[in-house]
Amino acid sequence: MENIQDELQRKEENLSEKRRELQDVQYAECTFNPETTKLYEEPEQVVVVSGLGRFFELRDLAKRKQLEQEKREASVFHPTSNVRCDGITIPEPFSLSRGVKSDLGHGGAMLCDRECTFAPQTNESENRKLLQRIMSSEDAIP
C-alpha cells in the first residue's frame, strides 16, 4: 500500500513539474507588455459642468412645487379641528329627505370652505336634481 502511495505521489510531483515548465515556456513566448500610467490625481483647478446650475434650479423648483402640493392636500384632506374624538364616533343630526338647497352647488357638488377640485356631471346627479324639483313642487299629487 505504501508503494502505491509513493508511486502516486511521485507521479503527481512529476506532473506538476512538467506543468511548471510548460507554463514558463508560455510566459517566455508572451509579448504582451502593458504600459501603466501614474495614479489619478485630483485636478487643482475648478471643473465647470455645463447645465449644473439649471439642474439645481429645476430640482429646487420641483421641491417647492411638491411642498406646496403637500400643503394643499393636507389642508383639503386633513382639516384641522379643535374637537378630539379619540376613536369615538360623535353622533350628529342629519336629514334624510330634504336638504338645505344652498348646499347644492355646481353639478350637485357640496360647497365647502375647503378647496373642492372635482365636480362630476353624471346622470345620477341630474336624476337627483329632477327628483328634488318634483318633491319640492307644490303641484305634487298627495
C-alpha of 118 from chain center = 24
Confidence of residue 138 (pLDDT cuts 50, 70, 90): confident
Q: Is 28 helix (H, G, I), strand (E, B) or coil?
A: helix
Please write the tens of the pLDDT for every residue from 82-127. 556 677 888 888 777 665 555 445 544 455 566 777 777 889 988 9
Q: How many domains does the chain have?
A: 1
Establish if 34 belongs to a structural domain.
Answer: no
Question: Is residue 127 in some structural domain?
Answer: yes
CB distance 115 to 75 below 8 Å:
yes
71 assigned to some structural domain? yes
- Is residue 105 within 8 A of residue 119, CB to CB? The reply is yes
Domain contains 56? no
139 vs 35 pLDDT, higher one: 35
- The per-residue pLDDT for range 47-70, each reduced to its tens digit, is 888 999 999 999 999 999 999 999
Tell me the pTM.
0.29
- pLDDT tens, residue by residue, 23-33: 998 888 888 77
Could you list the residue range(s) of the whole structural domain that residue 110 is in?
65-77+105-135
Give the residue ranges of DSSP H helices in the chain: 2-29, 52-77, 123-136
CA 4 to chain centre: 70
